[in-house]
Structure 1
Amino acid sequence: MTSNDAAHSPLYAKLLAETAKIGWLELERFFARGMLLRVASDLDLVSVAEAIASDDTAQITQWLSAGLVERVQSETAADIAARDPDLWAVVVSPWICVQERH
């Protein structure tokens, strides 16, 4: 059994249960308030939310530096609005983590 097969934490399970498909129109107001974080598609959305909720500063800083997690910028927002892709989101107050699913 590898570490990836290990059971997830109760926090992970809670966040996973709160993850939902959402449309851009429902997210626009959060973008306008600067509360929207884009999570790269090669990361686990729930793991990112868990790191934020757990205040795992080292991991979050690594993702931010690598551009894998970032506050949604105007150009990204316009692109998402134009394409209307499938989006998944989870709330980790005050942030909403959003990820495009392919």
Structure 2
Amino acid sequence: MPDSSDLLYAKLLGETAPIRWEELQPFFARGALLWVEAEQDLVAVATAVARDDQAQVGGWLRSGLLARVEEARAEDLLARDPSLWAVVVAPWVLVQERAPVTAS
């Protein structure tokens, strides 16, 4: 039987979706938008936030791998309109820039 962490991860994975910056702007305005750096697993970070894993989340916050979206990043996202991936862990929306698809 899978443990609750596996089930939560699977649930959040199923709730991730591509999104445009335009759709995220209201969450940014409310201060409810968290940026997840590209080297992190977005769903793993969302799982830790949902489980209130203060040690793990605090470590990411201190290292800058997880942060509130600041105005400079918001302006960059508005200008570039990159492909983003997001998941909601109320009251937060976690967002990450999707890596560009490269031809092999």
TM over 0.5: yes
Residue 12 of structure 1 deviates from its aligned partner by 0.2
Residue number in structure 2 paired with 1:47 = 44
Q: Which runs of 4+ in 1 moved over 4 A?
A: none
Mark the runs of 5 or more structure 1 residues left unpaired by the alignment.
1-7
Residue number in structure 2 paired with 1:93 = 90
Residue number in structure 1 paired with 2:60 = 63
Count residues in correspondence. Answer: 95
Quote the sequence identity (%).
59
Residue pairs, 1:1-102, within 5 angstroms: 9-102=6-99
TM-score scaled by length of structure 1: 0.92
Separation (CA, whole Å) in 1 of partners of 2:98 and 2:19: 11
Separation (CA, whole Å) in 1 of partners of 2:78 and 2:87: 19
Separation (CA, whole Å) in 2 of partners of 1:87 and 1:14: 19
Residue 38 of structure 1 deviates from its aligned partner by 0.2
Q: RMSD in angstroms over aligned alpha carbons?
A: 0.7
Mark the runs of 5 or more structure 2 residues left unpaired by the alignment.
100-104
TM-score scaled by length of structure 2: 0.90
